[in-house]
Amino acid sequence: MTSSLAESVRSAISQIVGPGAAALHTPHFGGNELAYLKECIDSTFVSSVGKFVDRFEAELAAYTGAKHAVAVVNGTAALQVALGLAGVRAGDEVLVPTMTFVATANAVAYCGATPHFTDSEERTLGMDPRALREHLQGAATIRGGQCVNRETGRVIRALVPMHTFGHIVDIDGLLSVARDFNLTLVEDAAESLGSTAGDRHAGTFGLLATLSFNGNKVVTTGGGGAILTNDQALAREAKHLTTTAKVPHRWEYTHDRIGYNYRLPNVNAALGCAQLEQLPSFLDAKRRLFERYRAAFAGMSGLRLVEEPAGTRSNYWLQTIVLDASVAAQRDEVLAATNDAGLMTRPAWTLMHKLQPYLGSPRMELSVAESLEQRVINLPSSAHLEMART
Amino acid sequence: MTSSLAESVRSAISQIVGPGAAALHTPHFGGNELAYLKECIDSTFVSSVGKFVDRFEAELAAYTGAKHAVAVVNGTAALQVALGLAGVRAGDEVLVPTMTFVATANAVAYCGATPHFTDSEERTLGMDPRALREHLQGAATIRGGQCVNRETGRVIRALVPMHTFGHIVDIDGLLSVARDFNLTLVEDAAESLGSTAGDRHAGTFGLLATLSFNGNKVVTTGGGGAILTNDQALAREAKHLTTTAKVPHRWEYTHDRIGYNYRLPNVNAALGCAQLEQLPSFLDAKRRLFERYRAAFAGMSGLRLVEEPAGTRSNYWLQTIVLDASVAAQRDEVLAATNDAGLMTRPAWTLMHKLQPYLGSPRMELSVAESLEQRVINLPSSAHLEMART
């Protein structure tokens, strides 16, 4: 029997998305996508050379306010390379949230380093700077200018907060922790293109940051990502490493580093350029969708709709409800009732420290994330749910 | 002053490609490319889900005769995953040609393993099985069923021949070496879609093989690659690992391995499906182009045009001349004269054992490859050079 909570949530979503099914997040192609793809085909520039890659990078930099953007094949690749540029080496540890998509932890592992899992805060859903500071005060020590894990003896090199579902993490608090413990801050901004804190865009706070343009993101290139940085030398190195570290020459193929084949193909960048043109309208639509969800859930007991943290503006990538602890046991009922009705919802990711490959990784007390894991539910969030109405 | 050899080569190429410039290899989009891209846009399936990925994989398997094909984001990623599936682990050595694109060696390095460089033979331009056998007889020993490098003490796990410029390597000889030394053979078939030995397609001889669909290949997906295998369990594992090792579930995000975000986006697969439809006509055109080059270079002293090895049929991906040793010193003059005239030519890749990151890697005597490096020149090879004529 479906509980009244599950039925209330199903009904609220139905009211928002109208009759019929709704996916969690599908893209909207209402602009120059096909025209730009045709330009690629007509010019035969579909691959590693082409004007859309340069344009996409310039437009990403202009939009976010980062001085440099380097487009790559996906967000995971972006994070792997950014971590390497941040100095992460085999044997290091890197602080990452346990509540994140698996790419955040995997990127650390690709560097031969070990993720060290951190807790979330209820308010932002992201890394909790106060709890992290307390943890490091006990678990770490500064030795030779480096933050060292007392128990494992490994250097804790970097800190990778993720802006969960588009909501900006407590970045000031985390920058302060990074400063005090000699950690390099790299932002996993995969979910937060279009989100800002004060007058600064997500991805401009750390030494480096990464974006994702997977099919489920605010804008998509099919598959794609980018590295953002204000540091010109790092940007040059990011471009060099992601294009097989080939040394420019008229005909010779010489490579001076173990680079990566991570350049974004021109055909995917073409999609990205068309999508970026529509980003402001997508963000408007997603904000209006949030407002309608807010009205639909107003006064419903047992849950809250996640709102942008004070002082920030969210892209509202994924609309999210958080159940009260008292009704957390009904989460799967809510998921079943909504998905059975064709309304796609999903819980937060299985926490990283519970995944088989990361069972042995170091971690702090993770009680807030463990509680959130039982209570978070993402709702249908596509911009076109709202755009279709206008 | 331009030598008569350089002028003769420039003139022969000019005669083939007609007036104006010619790139080394550019794609031809004469089929359903735009129609299929439009289907992606109209359906909104551009990313990790979509029918073109499944179709592309099925058509690659049918075309090559491999039982399974798994499409991935590029050929480098394909080789990295294939090597892991072949059992290559950190600390191993893997035999790779020194004359190859850097991806072959890098894929080994991504596994934490060390490339062990092997020589080429003049005839196929690929790995020389006789020289390799001799080398292993001295440098390696079988210990506990594993091939061990006597000097480094490391296990030599696998053998990765590459079909150079589309010409099939001496695969029977190499399979015999692999058998006798307990090595797993993984084919780097990045350049050889459409090439066969007897009635079998490149990429069906090893335990696993990899293809590339970069913009310069016989068919392109913008960027893309594939893993081929006849082993169903390996194919399943390849798909699982390249799709973040996510365990299927209605709503949970659980990952049981450190997987990769390597799935080919649907929009790129759509391009690939359109390109595969034209592959037979591309191969015809490239063979006719070879015949015309053969006529143009007939009787020219100081060089030979590379022909498909006996018993094989090449896709003639890149047309290639090999200078005689007596005129090798004129290679750069030939490259300059042709490129100055807008006719793009290039030498073989800088040999892997000469690249900074691989200077310390183990290797056999590499005299043939070192000689070829000074003498190989690739010529303009696009299929459309010939298709435009018909």
List pLDDT tens digits, range A319-339: 999 999 999 999 999 999 999
The Cα B228–Cα B78 span in angstroms is: 9
Looking at residue A3, its pLDDT comes to 73
Average pLDDT over residues B254-279: 97
Chain B residues in contact with A259 by the CB 8 A cut-off are 102, 106
Give the Å distances, CA to CA, from A294 to A130, A290, A324. Answer: 29, 6, 16
CA angle A233, B260, B52 (to 5 degrees): 110
For the cut 60, the answer to whether the pLDDT of residue B279 exceeds it is yes
Nearest residue, CB atoms, B339 vs list A106, A251, A258: A251
CB contact under 8 A, A253 and B101: yes
Q: How confident is the model at residue A48 (pLDDT cuts 50, 70, 90)?
A: confident
Tell me whether residues A215 and B265 touch, CB distance under 8 A: yes
> Closest approach of chain A CAs to the CA of B182, in angstroms?
28
- Token readout for A279 is 């980003």
Mean pLDDT of the region A32-37? 97
Residue A339 to residue B76, Cβ atoms within 8 A: no
Q: In terms of domains, do A267 and A310 share one?
A: no
DSSP bridge pairs for A185: A159
Question: What average pLDDT does this structure show over B3-24?
Answer: 94
Q: Do strands B93-97 and A376-378 pair parallel, antiparallel, or not at all (unpaired)? A: unpaired
Structure tokens that stand for B243 in this block = 């799709």
Contact B102 A253 (CB under 8 A): yes
A-facing residues of B in 242-281 (CB < 8 A) are: 244, 246, 250-261, 263-268, 271
Instruction: Evaluate if residue A265 carries a pLDDT over 90.
Output: yes
- pLDDT score at B374: 98
Pick from B258, B264, B271: which is nearest to A46 by CB? B271
The answer to whether residues B212 and B315 touch, using CB atoms and an 8 Å cutoff, is no
Q: Quick one: A208 and A345 in the same domain?
A: no
Average pLDDT of the residues of chain B: 96
Q: Assess contact for A252 and B347: CB atoms under 8 A.
A: yes
Q: What is the mean pLDDT of residues B20-32?
A: 95
Say whether pLDDT at B45 is over 90.
no
Mean pLDDT of B341-363: 98
Domain end call among B276, B305, B324: B276
Q: Which A residues 135-164 touch B at CB under 8 Å?
A: none
DSSP string, A4-33: HHHHHHHHHHHHHH-SS-B-S------SSH
Least CA distance to A272: which residue of chain B?
A: B46
Tokens of B19: 């007036």
pLDDT value, residue B3:
73
What is the pLDDT at residue A2?
63
Query: Does the pLDDT at position B255 exceed 90?
Result: yes
pLDDT reported for residue A44: 84
Counted residue by residue, chain A has a size of 390
Q: For A175-300, list the strands marked E by DSSP.
A: 184-188, 196-197, 200-201, 208-212, 225-229
Residues of A in contact with B345 (CB under 8 A): 251
Is the model's pLDDT at B48 over the cut of 90?
no
Give me the residues paired with residue A115 across strands. A94
* A157 and A45 belong to one structural domain: yes
CATH number of the domain encompassing residue A332 = 3.90.1150.10
Instruction: State whether residue A15 sits within 8 Å of chain B by CB.
Output: no
Q: What is the ipTM of this complex?
A: 0.95
Backbone dihedral region of A195: left (phi > 0), alpha (psi from -120 to 50 degrees) or beta? beta
pLDDT for B50: 82
Q: Given this model, what pLDDT does residue B390 score?
A: 58
Between β-strands B320-323 and B303-305, what pairing exists: parallel, antiparallel or unpaired? Answer: antiparallel
B287 and B165 in a common domain: no
Domain boundary among B253, B276, B299: B276
Selected for mutation to probe chain B from A33, A164, A219, A267 (highest B CB count within 10 Å) is A267
Cβ contact A220–B257 (<8 Å): no
Report the distance separating Cα A368 and Cα A117, nearest Å.
Answer: 12
Distance from CA of A241 to the nearest CA of B (A): 12
Q: Are residues A259 and A309 in the same domain?
A: no
Contacts with A359 from chain B: Cβ below 8 Å = none
Within 349-378 of B, beta carbons closer than 8 Å to A belong to 349-350, 355-357
β-bridge mates for residue A54, sequence order: none
The pLDDT of residue B219: 97
Conformation bin of residue A245: beta by default, left when phi > 0, alpha when psi is -120 to 50:
left
* DSSP summary character for residue B350: P
The pLDDT of residue B47 is 72
**Same domain for B190 and B333?**
no
Verify that B85 and B195 share a domain, yes or no: yes
pLDDT of residue A272: 98
Angle at A223 between CA A217 and CA A228, to 5 degrees: 75
B205-222 mean pLDDT:
97
Distance of CA B327 to the CA centre of its chain: 28
When the pLDDT of each residue in chain A is averaged and rounded to a whole number, the result is 96
- This prediction has a pTM of 0.97
Flag whether pLDDT at B141 surpasses 60: yes
Nearest in space to B346 (alpha carbons), one of B313, B316, B381, B370:
B381
* Half-sphere exposure (Cβ direction) of B137: Cα atoms closer than 13 Å: 7
Taking only the tens place, the pLDDT of each residue in A95-143 is 999 999 999 999 999 999 999 999 999 999 999 999 999 999 999 999 9
Sheet strands side by side (includes B200-201): B200-201, B196-197, B312-313
CB pairs under 8 A between A and B: 182
Range of the domain at A336: 4-27+278-387
Burial class (CB in 10 A: 0-12, 13-18, 19+), A19: exposed
pLDDT digit string (tens) for B72-114? 999 999 999 999 999 999 999 999 999 999 999 999 999 999 9
Chain A: residue nearest B343 by CA?
A251
Of B28, B112, B214, the CB nearest to A48: B214
Contacts of A216 in chain B (CB under 8 A): 47
Residues 70-99 in B contacting A (C-alpha not used; CB under 8 Å) = 73-77
In this structure, the answer to whether residues A225 and A291 fall within a common structural domain is no
Q: What's the total number of domains in chain A?
A: 2
Q: What is the pLDDT of residue B2?
A: 63
- Answer with the one of A276, A293, A324 that is the final residue of a domain: A276
List A residues 20-79 in contact with B (Cβ-Cβ < 8 A). 26-29, 33-34, 37-38, 41, 44-49, 73-77
Q: Is the pLDDT of residue B321 over 70?
A: yes
Percent of chain A with pLDDT over 70: 99
Residue of A nearest to B110 (CA): A110
Residues of A in contact with B111 (CB under 8 A): none
Domain of residue A68, CATH code: 3.40.640.10
Are A216 and A320 contained in the same domain?
A: no
Q: Identify the pLDDT of residue A238.
A: 98
Please indicate, yes or no, whether residues B161 and B86 belong to a single structural domain of this protein. Answer: yes
Confidence category of residue A202, pLDDT binned at 50, 70, 90: very high
Q: Does position B29 have pLDDT exceeding 90, yes or no? A: yes
**What residue type is assigned to position A152 of the chain?**
T
C-beta neighbour count of B188 within 10 angstroms? 32
Q: Between chains, do B102 and A257 touch, taking CB under 8 Å as contact?
A: no
Residue A98 and residue A51 in one domain? yes
- In terms of domains, do B305 and B222 share one? no
Contact check, Cβ <8 Å, B355/A255: yes
Q: What is the pLDDT of residues B355-371, one digit of tens each?
A: 999 999 999 999 999 99
3-state secondary structure of A75: helix
Cross-chain residue pair A46–B76, CB shorter than 8 Å: no
